[in-house]
Structure 1
Amino acid sequence: MMTGQWLLLERTEQLLPELYRLGEAPDPIRLFDDTELAECEEESPLLINAQTNPPVLAAAQSQPKAWPGLLLETAGPTEELLTHLRQILFIRFDQERRGVLRYSRQRTASYFFPACDHETRPTWLGPIQRLSWYGGTWHDCADGREAWHHIENQQATIWQAGAITYEQRLSAMQEQALQRQRGEHFLYQWWKQQSGIHFETAWNYLAGGMQAGFASAESLSTYLNLRYASPQVAPPATLPGSTDQERLDALAQHLATSTTDKESTA
């Protein structure tokens, strides 16, 4: 059976004009149609037949940052692929919480799909034989390591339509991956405003702040600023105080005192 190629593209301001400029018959299919997200049509990713639009495929492969999304390869019919893609939009996590998984975003894909092990991968990829995207995690972005990623699904040929009849529940590994995505995104926003600090070092600072009990964006940002300003000084094992501000004040005092002591003995 011949394998077909599809592009699942994120909506950008330039997407539709470029599709109709390059495509011979783009015929975009909105992913959110026929789902409870149908009213959000302007935000819906678009599914494009890559084989009938080779110039679009070539542009997406040569300039992937300008064409954010996924490249899908499948031997199944269009409707089966579309049904599956819509099915895995809606997920259950953290006991009974329900959400939308924006897996077509390359950054999310870089965390989520590598967290699908050999047991869960066939469920999430369904009829997709090969999934490809360009990008990486926020850590990859900070280190300049963005690249093409590929995941194979050897069980795609035996997948049957209707295999998923309910909303999928995230595994512990998948939940942890998405939590790390949120943490690294927060850190990336802070990191890019600094200079002379490796992302891995900043990640260790953030982990230390969370272990110390700081949870709000404001308190964690202050913790990062304090650690960044005194990189040679280790924080105390515990911080006294009953509020975030009291513990941040204690940390600031400890770092200032330790820095002064080091300078006086130098």
Structure 2
Amino acid sequence: MSSRPVTDMQRWFLFEYTDDLLQKLYQLGEAPEPQLLFTGTDLDPYADQSPMLICADSNPSIAAAVNDAPEDWQGLLIDSRHPQEQLLKHLQHILFIGFDGQRKGVLRYSNPRTASYFFPACTAGDLPQWLGPIQTLAWYGATWRISASERAQWCRVENPEAIHWQPAMAPLFLHLSDEQSQALRCQQTERFLFQWWEQQSALSFPQAWVFLEEGMASDFLSAESLSTYLDLRSAYPKARPPAALPQGSDEHRLNYLKASMERSSTDKEWQA
């Protein structure tokens, strides 16, 4: 196939896998012909749970369904002038990334939640290598922090270099920048806090974030100890925590914190 880009812009959907995705596609699509992202890659054994690439232009019923209820269709919207084969190979290529020196992993960029962290962390200089033949990338989603106070919305990034993109004979293995790595770590931290915060009734997310930062600054780093710390701070929101905690195990330090918070709360009630 020629490496020259096609003339007309084409629109694609890269849908995240769900148990009922194929059924929904064939109920709506004229001829969806899904291409499995994992096929032919190191993730081929998991191809039955692969994101699926669908031509939106050939399936107007699917396009209309996404437009009407984007929250029901998890994935990415892609505009490209390049052939499907080249687009698919590029999407497969950016699945596999290096990070933290010699570590390797899989980047789940087709998940709108991950996309909301990862792509905004790309600089103008490195965005073209990630988007490659993609001229416009869009998704309906939000970060965990935004989800605490606002609804998801359409997000979009543009790649002006796409028109000049040419497939490389041997594409370079991509490594996360410090900013991208930090964004993905932030995603995990905000997810943890959001799931804890959802169980609360009278605590704002910004205040919960303050408590979380306090807990991490006090070296409570495991999910269990941080959850306990947040529970204590939430139970005594007006109490002043001690300036420093003693040495010892997380359990010992949390027990000290609880006793201190109880005393502080009792003193405030007595003074009132």
TM range (shorter): over 0.9
SS in 1 for 2:200: coil
Q: Contact 1:26 / 1:48 at 8 angstroms: preserved in 2?
A: yes
Write the distance in 1 (CA, Å) between the matches of 2:191 and 2:118.
Answer: 14
Write the distance in 2 (CA, Å) between the matches of 1:56 and 1:76.
Answer: 21
Hey, what does 1:44 align to over in structure 2? 50
Tell me by how many angstroms 1:137 deviates.
Answer: 0.7
- Choose which of 17, 20, 31 in structure 2 pairs with 1:14: 20
Post-superposition CA distance 1:131-173 (Å, at most 9, x none): 0000101112221331110111111111111187232110011
The answer to whether structure 1 residue 175 and structure 2 residue 181 are counterparts is yes
The answer to whether structure 1 residue 27 and structure 2 residue 12 are counterparts is no
SS in 1 for 2:160: coil
- Check 1:81–1:233 CA distance in 2 against 1; reply closer, same or farther (3 A cut): same
Aligned-residue sequence identity (percent) comes to 50
- What pairs with 1:1-266 in structure 2 (closer than 5 Å)? 1-162=7-168, 165-266=171-272
Task: State TM-score, norm by structure 1.
Answer: 0.97
The code of the aligned residue for 1:177 comes to: A
Tell me by how many angstroms 1:43 deviates.
Answer: 1.4
SS in 2 for 1:239: coil
The code of the aligned residue for 1:97 comes to: R
SS in 1 for 2:57: coil
Write the distance in 2 (CA, Å) between the matches of 1:61 and 1:190.
Answer: 32
- Show structure 1 runs of 5+ residues with no match: none
Q: How many residues align?
A: 266
Tell me by how many angstroms 1:23 deviates.
Answer: 0.8
- Check 1:235–1:49 CA distance in 2 against 1; reply closer, same or farther (3 A cut): same
Write the distance in 2 (CA, Å) between the matches of 1:97 and 1:236.
Answer: 39
The code of the aligned residue for 2:143 comes to: T
- Show structure 2 runs of 5+ residues with no match: 1-6
Write the distance in 2 (CA, Å) between the matches of 1:53 and 1:180.
Answer: 36
Task: State TM-score, norm by structure 2.
Answer: 0.95
Hey, what does 2:3 align to over in structure 1? none
